[in-house]
Structure 1
Amino acid sequence: KDLKPQQTVAFTLIATVTFAAGFILPGGYWAPEGPIPSSPIRRKNAAFQAFVIANAMDIVLSLSAVFIHFLTST
């Protein structure tokens, strides 16, 4: 049974969700008149930094899996 189509859909959905998570950050942003305008509120929090790193790794790995699928599907 070939699972490549389902895997491609799963990897694409994961990449889409992580792309959106990069814009909707936990904790939100400072207001334009705040202390650090338009930057993430929790930017110095260790858990937030781990989230950013994990999110970046997730999108790179998901898109790599989709790309590899297209290379090997022919």
Structure 2
Amino acid sequence: MTTENNNNLYPDLLTEEELIKFLRIPSVSKANDYHNVIENLKRMHGIPRIHICGKPLYPVGAIRKWIEEKTILGK
């Protein structure tokens, strides 16, 4: 199954590479290795994930909810 977002199709479970693109990390991070950014999000910010066959997968719905919870509302 896929979820439509900004005219792009994303599967319901993202790989780490897809998550990097989904979160637009190359556009906002100066890190040389974007996988390190994901590792930090896992360790320090509790980004939601499940493991299947030893590989982390990231549910799009849970990622969107996580983003909403992490969003700081301005005044």
Compute the TM-score of the two structures, normalised by the length of structure 1. 0.28
Bigger Rg over Cα: 1
TM-score for the superposition, normalised by structure 2: 0.27
* Higher strand fraction (1 or 2): 2
